[in-house]
């Protein structure tokens, strides 16, 4: 969807609301009125935005979800300052941002900036459907403290820990499928 996988890049930078509207369109088109949304990483941000604002969602599964603004130290802020200074001075070699950002081009870089710095905490507070948090204990991209914070923000949410990191669901695919099936049966 919108610049991921084989879909074409959008003509203009997108926001989290644009991605959420894409999910809403798909649900309307398919006439789905009791969806259980499952979102990994950035997809978790989108799932939270849809679930917080729409009827027709009966449950949410957030898998190592993004959306909690990370704790940042002095090194991060020094890198940002160096980048901004380099840009003002029109240096040809600017300090690089994250690997995810560096891999993008054009409009997708602007889209990345739009969505990566937006907190999903308000969306989390407004989710009223059963929510399952699946999290890798060793996730460095969306660390465990983010899971704990989402668990506090989302009423009636529960956590299931997976071994591994940000993509732990892949190495525990059978277990994750059983967990998802059991969750779907309950909601």
Residue 5 has pLDDT above 80, yes or no: no
CATH (domain of 28): 3.40.50.1820
pTM (2 decimals)? Answer: 0.86
Residues 186 and 130 in one domain: yes
Domain holding 34, by residue range, is: 10-67+119-187
Q: Is 98 left (phi over 0), alpha (psi -120 to 50) or beta?
A: beta
- Tell me which long-range contacts 170-176 makes (C-beta under 8 A, separation of at least 24): 176/134
Torsion angles phi and psi, residue 38, rounded to 5: -120, 120
Structural domain includes residue 31:
yes
State the chain's mean pLDDT as an integer: 89
């Amino acid at each position: 969807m919108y610049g991921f996988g084989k879909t074409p890049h959008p003509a203009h930078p997108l926001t989290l609301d644009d991605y959420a509207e894409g999910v809403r369109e798909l649900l309307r088109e398919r006439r789905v009125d009791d969806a259980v949304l499952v979102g990994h990483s950035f997809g978790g941000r989108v799932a939270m935005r849809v679930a917080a604002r729409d009827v027709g969602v009966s449950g949410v599964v957030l898998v190592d979800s993004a959306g909690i603004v990370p704790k940042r130290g002095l090194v991060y802020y020094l890198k940002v300052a160096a980048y901004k200074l380099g840009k003002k001075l029109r240096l040809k070699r600017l300090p690089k941002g994250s690997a995810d950002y560096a891999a993008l081009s054009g409009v997708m870089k602007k889209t990345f900036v739009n969505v990566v710095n937006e907190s999903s905490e308000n969306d989390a507070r407004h989710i009223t459907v059963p929510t399952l948090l699946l999290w890798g204990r060793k996730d460095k991209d969306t660390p465990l403290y983010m899971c704990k914070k989402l668990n506090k923000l989302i009423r009636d949410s529960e956590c299931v820990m997976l071994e591994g990191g940000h993509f732990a669901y892949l190495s525990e695919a059978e277990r994750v499928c059983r967990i998802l099936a059991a969750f779907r049966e309950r909601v």
